[in-house]
Structure 1
Amino acid sequence: MLPALHCQHYEEWSNALERLKDRVERGVNLSEEFTAVQQLYQEKIVTLSHQGIDFASAPRYQSLQTEIHRTLRLLQADLLFLKAARKSDTVLERQRTCLQHVKQLIGYCSAILNLGA
């Protein structure tokens, strides 16, 4: 079982990811929204302790945390590539890749929130 504070912070971060997803789909103002998502992750998610997490759920939680961190770094790199892209085909490909990463992050959030159910 996941503590209530964990659920609250992950729901908040999931909402921020949904806003980022909308921006990626529209291709507008990505750096501002990504900075907000990254800041929320650093302030609310990284600081959460493992105390209160059910012993049986702890390995899955840690695995999801690792994947979130990895995917967030990949998203950051791909956003830089998107910003540098000039050709329309390249922009579309980078946009699709960024969207895929954001969707993965949302899925990881959902999986963690399901640990709390």
Structure 2
Amino acid sequence: MLSGKLPFLPTRSKLAEAIRYTLNRWDDLKRFIDDGRIDLDTNPVERAIRPVALGRKNALFAGSEGGADRWAIAASLIETAKLNGIEPFQWLRDTLETMVAGFPASRLGELLPVR
């Protein structure tokens, strides 16, 4: 184990620092081993929010702060659908049709684009 190596290393060596750093964060680091769905980096998140960041200029033309808020919600739902392997515009059309048909407002969470 890593902690067994520390007594044999100079206290201020780079390797000892790295081992202490790792041991101090061990519970957080082992999550990557325990759950293979967790990415080691933020690249998937960065790719997912890139269209939102590129489209941020569109919010400038939303007309009001409320319009910008609604645009941000719509963009978030579309990107969430993509991340969950759901075709966003098909989901949006189906969801709007369901809502117009009288789906109860108290159950709208059931229509979110998650699997």
The alignment's TM-score, normalised by the length of structure 2, stands at 0.28
* Structure showing greater Rg: 2
Higher helix share goes to which structure?
A: 1
The alignment's TM-score, normalised by the length of structure 1, stands at 0.28
Greater relative contact order (Cα < 8 A, sep 6+): 1
